[in-house]
Amino acid sequence: MTLNQELLDILACPKCKGDIEYKKKQNKLICHKCRLKYKILEGDIPDMLIDDAEKF
């Protein structure tokens, strides 16, 4: 599944409020500034909780 482009256009990193990038292969949202990866749950629901994010 892929996220709707309209949704991607309005999402921002909850930590720094910066831009995020959708990585389709990983099915994650990436913030390069914070170096955090946010999971996409079933049904294309982004898990944008900072405590659930993975560092990279």
| Residue bearing tokens 């099915």 | 27
CATH number of the domain to which 23 belongs: 2.20.25.10
For the stretch 1-56, pLDDT in tens is 578 889 899 999 999 999 999 999 999 999 999 999 999 998 789 999 999 999 99
Query: What is residue 1's predicted lDDT score, i.e. its pLDDT?
Result: 55
CA atoms within 13 A on the CB side of 9: 3
Which residue intervals of the chain are DSSP H helices?
5-10
- Which range of residues forms the domain containing residue 51? 5-55
- pTM of the predicted model, to two decimals? 0.86
For the stretch 1-13, pLDDT in tens is 578 889 899 999 9
Query: What is residue 44's predicted lDDT score, i.e. its pLDDT?
Result: 86
Work out how many domains the chain is built from and give that number.
1
Query: What is residue 55's predicted lDDT score, i.e. its pLDDT?
Result: 97
